[in-house]
C-alpha cells in the first residue's frame, strides 16, 4: 500500500479509478470536472444523470461511481468537495476529509486496486491548496492504515495538474511519512 504525488493529467492515467472533483449535480463543469467529462465521452454524463434522477443531487462529502467511458481508467468516482466561502475553515477541513474517505470507500466497493485523485475543491471552489494538501495526504494515509486488512486498494496517487499543487502534496507526504 502506498501514496505518491505526481505531476500529470488525471484523464490520461492508467489506473482502476480516478476521482473527479464534481459538482452536486454531477453535470460536468469547468476545471478537472470538465476535462474528465470531455475526455470520457457522453456515457459518463449519461450515468451521472441516471444517478441524479434516482437519488437527487449529491451532498458535499459524498462520492458515487460511474464507468470511465473512453478514459484509460475503469471507473470515475465523483466526489463533491466543499466550497471554501460557504463554511468555516474547520468545517471545510472536515468536509474535504470526508470526500477522500467516501471516495476510497467507493473505490474499495468497486474493487479498485489503483486510485488517482484530482485535487478536490482547490480550483473554482477556492479551498487553499496549502491547506488542502495536508488534509488529502493525512486522510488517505489514515484510510489506508485503517483498511489495510480488508481493502482492494493498494496504491493511491495524487495527480497534480501543476507544480504548485505537487509541491504542497510532496511537502505533506514528507511531513507525514
User: What residues are annotated to the active site?
Assistant: 33
* Secondary structure letter of residue 9 according to DSSP: -
Torsion of CA 83, 168, 64, 85, to 10 degrees: 0
User: Cα(105)–Cα(167) distance, rounded to whole angstroms?
Assistant: 27
Q: Quote the CA–CA distance of 65 and 77 in Å, as a whole number.
A: 4
Residue with C-alpha cell 463543469?
A: 29
Amino acid at each position: 500500500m502506498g501514496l505518491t504525488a505526481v505531476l500529470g493529467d488525471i484523464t490520461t492515467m492508467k489506473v482502476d479509478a480516478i476521482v473527479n472533483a464534481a459538482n452536486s449535480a454531477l453535470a460536468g463543469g469547468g476545471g478537472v470536472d470538465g476535462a474528465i467529462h470531455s475526455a470520457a465521452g457522453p456515457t459518463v454524463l449519461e450515468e451521472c444523470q441516471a444517478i441524479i434522477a434516482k437519488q437527487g443531487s449529491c451532498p458535499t462529502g459524498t462520492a458515487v461511481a460511474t464507468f470511465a467511458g473512453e478514459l484509460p481508467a475503469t471507473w470515475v468516482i465523483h466526489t463533491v468537495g466543499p466550497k471554501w466561502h460557504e463554511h468555516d475553515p474547520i468545517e471545510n477541513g472536515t468536509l474535504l476529509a470526508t470526500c477522500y474517505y467516501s471516495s476510497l470507500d467507493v473505490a474499495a466497493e468497486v474493487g479498485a486496486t489503483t486510485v488517482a485523485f484530482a485535487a478536490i475543491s482547490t480550483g473554482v471552489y477556492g479551498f487553499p491548496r496549502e491547506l488542502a494538501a495536508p488534509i488529502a495526504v493525512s486522510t488517505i494515509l489514515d484510510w489506508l492504515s485503517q483498511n489495510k486488512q480488508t481493502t482492494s486498494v493498494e496504491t493511491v496517487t495524487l495527480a497534480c495538474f501543476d507544480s504548485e499543487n505537487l509541491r504542497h502534496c510532496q511537502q505533506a507526504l514528507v511531513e507525514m511519512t
